[in-house]
Amino acid sequence: MKRIRVFAPGTIANIGCGFDVMGLALDGVGDVVELTLFDNKDEMAEESCNCIYKADACSLCIKNSSNVKLPADPAENVITPAIVKMCQAYSARQERPCHLHIGVEIQQKIRPGSGIGSSAAASASAVYALNAILDNAFSQEELVDFAMEGEKLISGTPHADNVAPAIIGGVVFIRGYNPTDLIKLPVPDNFYCTVVHPHITVSTKEAREILPKAVERKDAIIQWGNVGGFVAGLLMNDLDLLGRSVKDVIAEPYRKGFIPGYDDLKEKLLSNGMIGVNIAGSGPSVFALSKSEEEAELARNIMEEHFSSLNIEREVYVNKVGKQGARVL
Amino acid sequence: MKRIRVFAPGTIANIGCGFDVMGLALDGVGDVVELTLFDNKDEMAEESCNCIYKADACSLCIKNSSNVKLPADPAENVITPAIVKMCQAYSARQERPCHLHIGVEIQQKIRPGSGIGSSAAASASAVYALNAILDNAFSQEELVDFAMEGEKLISGTPHADNVAPAIIGGVVFIRGYNPTDLIKLPVPDNFYCTVVHPHITVSTKEAREILPKAVERKDAIIQWGNVGGFVAGLLMNDLDLLGRSVKDVIAEPYRKGFIPGYDDLKEKLLSNGMIGVNIAGSGPSVFALSKSEEEAELARNIMEEHFSSLNIEREVYVNKVGKQGARVL
């Protein structure tokens, strides 16, 4: 058997303006999985596993030893479709079809529904781990494609704005799909992201369904102006331009309703020097970008105070924007 | 009196993906105006002028000595609202209100309706000329704002995707308005643009009205993925990435109907190595981006042949993407 432990970071999708096309990796928070490739089914059977998921190219056993509750049925775990798709692709590349026996132990887990890419960190860490064991048989783009199967399970749409930065790190821009076209943007050294996760449950699906299917053309134009500004801001190392671009006329107006006192919180953060504030992914987490650790800590205090005054439990993470994505531990 | 001659280049708005947020300057084609600031109305009266337009901060006389027919009424000329707005702003900055006496002679003119920014070249050259006479009293962003008044007259909406590159040169990205936020993107040395103007008249207004007011969210996402890819392509000097991003799901599907055989022409150009092909601005001109003069000339031949076989008169311009915008001659 071969065994490996992998970390994949939490991520902020959209980053204010890049709905479905952009995400960033956080530096300190993420999932840890230990993945085992067994030599055969007997070896796999020796490990106690309640429930083995069988597909044509693999048998998969997922154990959760994190302190976060996850669905018991492997068919409902995002890791499953990602690993199944990857095994199918691997099998198809061999001279004759093969069947892999895989065990995944989830050892550390971002709380689901937090808006910092909990599902993406899970599927990203699993596919990254399997790829490492398979001598990097697949490219980063292919891993992103596999991991997106997990996002499809959760939200109904395969999107890469969390899984791509979870795998690749930094700020990743997804130009398009079929094939997946990823651009890793440069990240300045002093680029901080403070994230608050208020304990309000909003599912990705619910957060997507609240959005209208069509966008006024004038709003779409505002949005792609900001997308271009954000990309240019990073590539030109102009964080003020980037900050001016962290604006969202597509999702924020609808999703902020899930977050008590959102407008006040945002105003307070911006007037205290944060360069950009918005909803992390589909929410309910809120992020603030800043240029120093002091400002990032100030954002933490403002966020703590805001939700404390509303009697809402929360966690706050202060992170640099992580240059690294998934990695072997 | 003070007198100055100014050139402002033709421009390609949208450049495939950046509807209303992006445009590029062409290197060899444009408008030439000669602008005179008279010392008083008597001096102005000495010059023969059929029709003086009077506003609170200026009196304006426009003469057309180009070989292109233009509206005789100055109220219908894009130069008028641009210069009037500029004079109002200039007057407001003086200790006491002032009134400028201005003559503009249009000496060389891009054919209106060509889709390469004819109206923008006119208003850009005029405001640039007046600013040069006024010792650069205004910033580039302010000049863009004034020139946009001309676009508003023509199309009903003030947009900067032609006037900004006509004034500033290169490829200009407009992050947003109020205030106008412009990003001048770097232009590689070997970056060519071939443009064909088939003699079909499509007004900007008509070309805008054919577009639906709302965009499917999924299409908007495709579009802003390409906008980010285009911006990154220029900033990373990756013309292949840029080429993959020259795609339009917003305007091209509707506007291509104005251009006979558009799909065939595009396919022929792309299969012959052009990195991106699309409709210039609101059409009916079509542009092809390429990486060498040879390819740019090949594009010319393909375009000539295409419209010749359809018995449609046309002009073809082969240009480098111009790094310079408006300039004193």
Average pLDDT over residues A139-168: 93
**pLDDT score recorded for residue A114:** 80
Query: Does A210 lie in the same domain as A284?
Result: yes
Considering only CB atoms, B215 lies closest to which of A214, A222, A225, namely: A214
CATH number at residue B305: 3.30.70.890
Residue B223 has its nearest CB partner, among A22, A183, A224, at A224
Contacts with B226 from chain A: Cβ below 8 Å: 175-176
CB-based contact B231 A228, cutoff 8 Å: yes
Looking at every residue in chain A, the average pLDDT score rounds to 94
| φ, ψ dihedrals at B287, nearest 5° | -115, 155
Please list, in sequence order, all residues whose beta carbon lies within 8 angstroms of the beta carbon of residue A221, skipping any fewer than 6 positions away.
B19, B20, B21
Q: Where are the beta strands (DSSP E) in B152-268?
A: 171-176, 181-185, 192-198, 214-216
CB A108 within 8 A of CB A32: yes
- Is A224 in Cβ contact with B227 (below 8 Å)? yes
How confident is the model over A286-313, as pLDDT tens digits? 999 999 999 999 999 999 999 999 999 9
Partner residue opposite A245 with nearest CB, options B175, B225, B232: B175
Chain B interface, Cβ < 8 Å to A: 18-22, 173-176, 181, 183, 185, 211-217, 220-232, 235-236, 241, 244-245, 250
| Whether A204 is catalytic | yes
CB contact under 8 A, A231 and B226: no
CA distance B85 to B69: 25
Whole-number Å distance between alpha carbons of B44 and A80: 81
Q: How many CB pairs under 8 A join A and B?
A: 130
Q: What's the DSSP call for residue A256? A: G
- Chain A positions with Cβ closer than 8 Å to B: 18-22, 173-176, 181, 183, 185, 211-217, 220-232, 235-236, 241, 244-245, 250
Distance CA A23, CA A160 (A): 8
Compute the nearest-CA separation of A39 from chain B (Å): 42
Which among A174, A225, A250 has the least Cβ separation from residue B225?
Answer: A174
Task: State whether B13 and B123 are in the same domain.
Answer: yes
Q: Is B325 inside a domain boundary?
A: no
- Closest partner residue to A225 (CB to CB) among B174, B211, B232 is B174
Which residue of chain B has the CA closest to A21?
A: B225
Query: Which are the contacts of A189, defined by CB distance < 8 A and separation ≥ 6?
Result: none
Residue A328 domain-assigned (yes or no): no
**CA atoms B161, B8, B285, B243: torsion sign:** negative
| Contact between A235 and B230 using a beta-carbon 8 Å cutoff | no
Could you give the maximum distance between any two Cα atoms of chain B, in Å? 63
Euclidean distance between CA atoms A117 and A110, whole angstroms? 8
| CATH number of the domain encompassing residue B97 | 3.30.230.10
Shortest Cα distance, chain B CAs vs residue A86, angstroms:
26
Together in a domain, A219 and A116: no
| Mean pLDDT, each 10-residue run in order, chain B (329 residues) | 97 95 94 95 78 90 92 92 97 94 95 88 98 97 96 87 97 95 95 95 78 93 97 97 96 94 98 97 93 97 98 95 95
| pLDDT at residue B50, rounded to an integer | 64
- A148 and A19 belong to one structural domain: yes
Nearest CA among B8, B24, B59 for reference residue B288:
B24
Q: How far is B12 from chain A (nearest CA, A)?
A: 17
Active-site option among B105, B151, B252, B315: B151
Tokens of A99: 């069947």
> Residue A211: its chain B contacts at CB < 8 A?
217
Distance from CA of B72 to the nearest CA of A (A): 33
Q: Give the residue from A53, A25, A35, A38 showing the smallest Cα distance to A120.
A: A25
Q: Give the model's confidence band at A47: pLDDT under 50 very low, under 70 low, under 90 confident, else very high.
A: confident
**Which residue of chain A is at minimal alpha-carbon distance from B217?**
A214
Q: Which positions ≥6 away from A36 have C-beta within 8 Å?
A: A1, A2, A3, A47, A102, A103, A104, A105
CB contact under 8 A, B228 and A20: no
pLDDT at B84: 97
Give the minimum alpha-carbon distance from A187 to chain B in angstroms, rounded to a whole number.
14
Contacts for B231-235: CB closer than 8 Å, 24+ residues apart: B231/A228, B231/A231, B231/A232, B231/A235, B231/B173, B231/B183, B231/B185, B232/A173, B232/A175, B232/A183, B232/A185, B232/A231, B232/A235, B234/B171, B234/B185, B234/B186, B234/B187, B234/B188, B235/A231, B235/A232, B235/A235, B235/A236, B235/B185, B235/B186
Q: Tell me if B8 is assigned to some domain.
A: yes
Tell me how close the Cα of A90 comes to any Cα of chain B, in angstroms. Answer: 28
CB contact under 8 A, B215 and A213: no
Q: Spell out which residues of chain A touch residue B22, defining contact as CB-CB under 8 Å.
A: 228
**Does residue A307 sit within a domain?**
yes
pLDDT of residue B100: 96
Contacts of B174 in chain A (CB under 8 A): 225
The domain boundary residue, chosen from A150, A185, A220:
A185
A246 in a structural domain: yes
What local confidence, expressed as pLDDT, does residue A50 receive?
64
Decide if A173 and B211 are in contact by the 8 Å CB cutoff: no
Is A90 in the same domain as A133? yes
Q: With bands split at pLDDT 50, 70 and 90, how would you rate the model's confidence at A42?
A: confident
A19 CB contacts (<8 Å, ≥6 apart)? A223, A248, A250, A251, B221, B224
Residue B307 to chain A, least CA–CA distance (Å):
32
- Of the three residues A152, A185, A218, the one that is the final residue of a domain is A185
A131, A140 in Cβ contact below 8 A?
no
pLDDT at A113: 79
Give B237-248 as a 3 state SS string.
CCHHHHHHHCCC
Q: Please check whether residue A133 lies inside any domain of the structure.
A: yes
* A106 and A132 share one domain: yes
Phi and psi at A22, nearest 5°, equal -155, 145
Q: Within a domain: residue A329?
A: no
Tell me the C-alpha distance between B109 and B33, whole Å.
9
Shared-domain flag, residues B7 and B117: yes
Cβ–Cβ below 8 Å for B216 and A214 = yes
- Give the distance from residue B16's alpha carbon to the nearest chain A alpha carbon, in angstroms: 13
Beta-sheet strands, E only, within chain B: 2-13, 22-38, 52-54, 58-64, 100-108, 171-176, 181-185, 192-198, 214-216, 276-279, 286-290, 314-320, 327-328
CB neighbours of residue A108 within 10 Å: 17
In this structure, the answer to whether residues A30 and A49 fall within a common structural domain is yes
Note the pLDDT of residue A97: 93
Residues B128 and B71 in one domain: yes
Q: Which residue of A has its CA nearest to B212?
A: A217
Q: Are A15 and A22 in contact (CB under 8 A)?
A: yes
Q: Which residues of B touch A173 (CB under 8 A)?
A: 225, 228-229, 232
Angle B202-B206-B207 from CA coordinates, rounded to 5°: 75
Domain match, A173 and A308 both:
no
Q: Chain B residue with minimal CA distance to A223?
A: B224
Instruction: Mark whether A178 and A205 lie in a shared domain.
Output: no
Mean pLDDT value of segment A77-87? 97
In terms of residue numbers, what domain contains A160? 2-185
Q: What number of helices (H) and strands (E) belong to chain A?
A: 11, 13
Q: Which ipTM was obtained for this model?
A: 0.92
A34 given a catalytic annotation: no
Enumerate residues 6+ apart whose C-beta is below 8 A from A5.
A32, A33, A34, A35, A107, A129, A328, A329
Catalytic residue among A105, A151, A295, A315: A151
Report the domain count for chain A. 2
* Last residue within a domain, chosen from B125, B152, B185: B185
* Top-confidence residue, A233 or B283: A233
What residues of B are in contact with residue A183 (Cβ under 8 Å)? 228-229, 232, 236, 241
Residues A139 and A211 reside in one and the same domain: no
Which residues, including other chains, have CB under 8 Å from residue A177's CB and lie 6 or more apart? A158, A160
B231·A232 Cβ contact <8 A: yes
Under the phi-then-psi rule, with left for phi > 0, alpha for psi from -120 to 50, and beta for the rest, what region is B117?
left
Catalytic residue of the set A204, A252, A295, A315: A204
Q: Where residue A13 falls among pLDDT bands split at 50, 70, 90?
A: very high
pLDDT at A27 over 70: yes
| Contact assignment for B176 to A226 by CB distance below 8 Å | yes
pLDDT of residue B51: 75
- Would you say residue B326 lies in a domain? no
- Residues of chain A neighbouring B245 (CB-CB closer than 8 A): 175
Q: Which residues on neighbouring strands pair with residue B54, listed in sequence order?
A: B59
Share of chain A above pLDDT 70, in %: 99
- Looking at beta carbons, which residues of chain B come within 8 Å of A212? 217
